[in-house]
Structure 1
């Protein structure tokens, strides 16, 4: 009985820590993307909203599979702000790299895979 209790407690503690950036992006009906002037300023009339399921899946998969990078960061102004469900992320995107940062945790960044970078670039272009 004690073993089952210990295992259950371990799973309840471990599973949320393994979820990385995926918290809050499960039930998404639309993705809002804004071009950014700076961390605090959105470029005027830049909002693009994606409501089709294929686009939403691309963003969800890319962001939920991003890999946390070690250390505290000091980043340049972001290219985009992405609202994905209840969560908001800053996004830096180039041809060969992609980095996201949870707006509520600006000390941590996550790197997108090369495949995710390609798919997000295709979506935004």
Structure 2
């Protein structure tokens, strides 16, 4: 009986620690800056959008972090958007098949695909 109570207490402690850690990590999320692009080197004037909603920031950050690396040579059209997420900068393409493609501006030889990106895209385009 004592062992069962000890195991239950440990599991509850782990669960509470995980929940508490998640709350703290969402409190300090930096706003995301979004600009429409004309070309790789030119932003469309007056299109800066700043996302400060913590849910939106977390959703976009999670989508970027879960993007899948695509193999092969990279030869991309001009990007639709530029995103500044924390200290990282990305080019973004919105695809007709409800996916998105991202490229870190510091690594233009690698692209990543965000699958099932409807919420991601709608948040960017609000």
TM-score bucket (shorter structure):
0.7 to 0.9
Give me the whole-angstrom Cα distance separating, in 2, the residues matched to 1:94 and 1:111.
10
**Structure 2 unaligned blocks of 5 or more:** 1-25
SS in 2 for 1:36: strand
Indicate if the aligned counterparts of 1:101 and 1:110 stay in contact, CA closer than 8 A.
yes
Q: Is the 8 A contact 2:35 2:47 kept in 1?
A: yes
- Distance, in Å, in 2 between the alignment partners of 1:107 and 1:62 is 20
Q: 1:22 maps to which residue? A: none
Asked which structure has the greater CA Rg, the reply is 2
Distance 2:89 2:73 in 1: 19
For 1:76 and 1:106, locate their aligned partners in 2 and report how far apart those are by CA, in whole Å.
12
Query: What SS is found at the alignment partner of 1:121?
Result: helix
Q: 2: distance between equivalents of 1:36 and 1:57?
A: 23
Which structure would you say has the larger RCO, counting Cα contacts within 8 Å and 6 or more residues apart? 1
Deviation at 1:58, TM superposition (A): 1.1
Moved over 2 A (4+): none
Shift of 1:74: 0.5
Task: Please provide the CA RMSD for this pair.
Answer: 1.5
Deviation at 1:72, TM superposition (A): 2.2
Higher strand residue share? 2
1:98 match? 100
What is the TM-score of this pair, normalised by structure 2? Answer: 0.73
* 1:121 positional shift: 2.0
Structure 1's unaligned 5+ residue stretches are 1-25
1:121 matched to 2:108? no
SS in 2 for 1:73: coil
Separation (CA, whole Å) in 1 of partners of 2:43 and 2:88: 17
